[in-house]
Amino acid sequence: MAPIHSHYIGLLALLPSILAAVPYSEYILAPASRTLTPVRVHAANGSVTSPSALIEGGSGTTTLSGDSAITYDYGQNIGGLVSFTVSAVNGSGNYIGISFSESSLWISPDGSDATQNVGIDETLWMAVNGSGGYAIENLHQRGGFRYLNLLHNSSGSVELSSVTTNFTAMPHYADDAMRDYTGYFHSDNEKLNRVWYASAYTNQLCTIPSTSGNSLVDLTATNDTVITYWWSNSTLTNGSSALVDGAKRDKLIWPGDFSISLPGVFLSTNDQETLKLSVAQLFAQQNASTGQLHYVALPIHEDPPSSFSEQVKDVYSFTYHLYNLLALNNYYIYSGDLAFLQDNWPRFIYGLNYSLQSIDHTGLAYVADNATSDWLRVGMGARNIEANSILAYTLSVAQDLAHALDDPSLIPTWQTYHTNIVTAANDLLWDEPAGLYTDNETTTLHPQDGNVWAILSGVADASRAATISDALQARWGPYGAPAPEAGTTVSPFIS
């Protein structure tokens, strides 16, 4: 190990006082406890007595009689299992219903804002036959809600003394450790500070119990007014947690999202355990005959099977296949876990070789019609700038990983492939008047994703990278950078 010079020692000694002087804890949105109580009453309808008794700092009891409802506000997005305590019941046939919403705009008497692509998630009704505690089942663990609706049916009345949500994100962390970040961010821009910490908290919400995955259970729903069933009980990893795409819907391990979320987790909570489990699951499902990696990691166990898993199990994505490889690279970069890299190195090489089989006489990869699935953009295929830029980037990191493992035998081959991609992309896809790359040889569309990736991968040299940056900035709108490859979409994922 190299010696640590005295000026570095002095800087390290100053770090505790520097951190103490920088405000950061005020921005952290993670709760200090897993037991969460609503902070205010958003609305009450029908015959409701003292609804504020159940909020934080409240006292006494709340009574719902006849057809009545209360919407409670937790103040921010949370996730978990709801429970309530009944003090008294009058009459027979009493039921309490529970539903959820992320936004006040979608609060509904009919159910929750959907975890499906369309529709309304069914209200969870529980028969209330006497005093005591009631809780929803584990399979109805809800992620990503701010508003909680308590509904009472038309019979009798129910008196409640508490309603709480057990925060289930970060399940492997101690109940009081969810705010213990290991990385912090602070600038002189207040909005940027809050965006950074909101992003870190989003990653925490998306770190779920490994047995509460996949809420996309009914892809056949087509009517946004129809009430649909829902649950989240798929097993995603061989450990206690998993990092997924969304806290409420799409609760699966998507390699594309890891290009953003994985570094974000390392830089905030440093939750290496979850990331290792999740990346391991991506590689565990590699096709042993071809080297192909999945579009999305399928659940290890799912009962009953969901229509989504059935639909995507045989889907191949040229780009997401590469994102699997990049997930391993990012995990190694931030963790330094050389043993994990070594264990998965043969799979990495196998997967990269699978991608290289798509390179044709031009030097570019040709994305076949059965490999065009991506991040919901359209027009993927042929000699695509996004796909080839990601491949070029993957070839670069492959060389770095080979050096780390002292396994240089394939480096010259990978260098040649990389050089050929860069040359061909600039010869065939660069549009000088526009200052951007076209999506492929058959279109005049200039994608956001492919041009950004051309910069990141080095397909664009420094001069062209600056030109691209200026051209992309020139078309910014009030909500950000448009991605014309996805219509009018503004996509933070690809921007």
* Residues 279-287, mean pLDDT to the nearest whole number: 98
What is the rounded CA–CA span in Å between residue 463 and residue 174? 50
Predicted confidence band of residue 215 (pLDDT cuts 50, 70, 90):
confident
Segment 40-66 mean pLDDT? 98
Residue 224 DSSP one-character state = T
When computed from its CA atoms, the radius of gyration of the chain, rounded to whole angstroms, is 26
Q: Report the candidate in 150, 146, 145 with the shortest Cα–Cα distance to residue 39.
A: 146
- Contact partners, residue 5, CB within 8 Å, separation at least 6: none
- According to the model, what pLDDT value does residue 4 have? 40
What is the structure's pLDDT at 225? 87
Cα-Cα-Cα-Cα torsion 151, 153, 159, 161, nearest 10 degrees, comes to -20
Q: Residue 96 corresponds to which tokens in the numbers above?
A: 């309490």
Q: How confident is the model at residue 250 (pLDDT cuts 50, 70, 90)?
A: confident
Whether 303 has a pLDDT exceeding 90, the answer reads no
E-only strand ranges, 53-113 = 62-90, 95-101, 112-113
> Would you state the pLDDT for residue 24?
87
Beta carbons within 8 Å of 302's beta carbon, 6+ residues apart: 214, 233, 234, 235, 309
Task: Give the closest residue to 272 by CA, choosing from 326, 212, 211, 207.
Answer: 207
pLDDT, residue 8, reads 44
Distance (Å, whole) CA 307 – CA 458: 40
As a whole number, mean pLDDT of residues 215-227 equals 82
In percent, the amount of the chain with pLDDT more than 70 equals 96
Q: Are 118 and 216 spatial neighbours (Cβ–Cβ below 8 Å)?
A: no
**Whole-number pLDDT of residue 7:** 43
Q: Tens of pLDDT along 459-490?
A: 999 999 999 999 999 999 999 999 999 999 99
Over the stretch 13-25, which tens digit does the pLDDT of each residue have? 445 555 555 678 8
Q: Does position 156 have pLDDT exceeding 80, yes or no?
A: yes
Taking only the tens place, the pLDDT of each residue in 362-412 is 999 999 999 999 998 999 999 999 999 999 999 999 999 999 999 999 999
Judged by phi (left if over 0) then psi (alpha if -120 to 50, else beta), residue 91 lies in left
Is the pLDDT confidence value at 307 over 90? no
Question: What's residue 222's pLDDT?
Answer: 82
Give the CA distances from residue 390 to residues 264, 312, 385, 458, in Å, rounded to whole numbers and listed in that order.
20, 22, 8, 10
For residue 14, give every residue at least 6 positions away whose Cβ sits within 8 Å of its Cβ, in sequence order, or none.
none
- Let me know: does 367 contact 318? Beta carbons within 8 Å: yes
β-strands 142-152, 62-90: how paired? antiparallel
Q: Is the pLDDT of residue 494 over 60?
A: yes
Q: What is the mean pLDDT of the chain?
A: 94
pLDDT at 9 over 80: no
The dihedrals phi and psi of 371, each to the nearest 5 degrees, come to: -130, 20
Q: Supply the pTM of this predicted model.
A: 0.94
Residue 11 has pLDDT above 90, yes or no: no
pLDDT category at 2 given cuts 50, 70, 90 is: very low
Domains annotated on the chain, with CATH: 35-167 (2.60.120.260), 176-357 (1.50.10.10)
Alpha carbon 296 to its chain centroid, in Å, reads: 12
User: Is the Cβ–Cβ distance between 391 and 323 less than 8 Å?
Assistant: no
Do 443 and 409 contact (CB within 8 A), yes or no? no
Pairing of strands 62-90, 132-135: antiparallel
Q: Which amino acid is at 156?
A: G
The four Cα atoms 137, 37, 41, 104 give a dihedral, to 10 degrees, of -60
Share of the chain above pLDDT 90, in %: 87
pLDDT of residue 12: 45
Helix H or strand E segment including 346: helix 338-356
pLDDT of residue 200: 98
Distances (CA, A) of 137 to 233, 307, 372: 10, 22, 39
Residue-level pLDDT at 14: 47
* Coil/strand/helix, residue 377: coil
Comparing 117 with 274, the larger pLDDT belongs to 274
What is the maximum alpha-carbon separation in the chain? 80
pLDDT of residue 16: 56
Retrieve residue 141's tokens: 């663990």
Close Cβ partners of 199 (under 8 Å, ≥ 6 residues apart): 264
> Tell me, what's the pLDDT at 22?
63
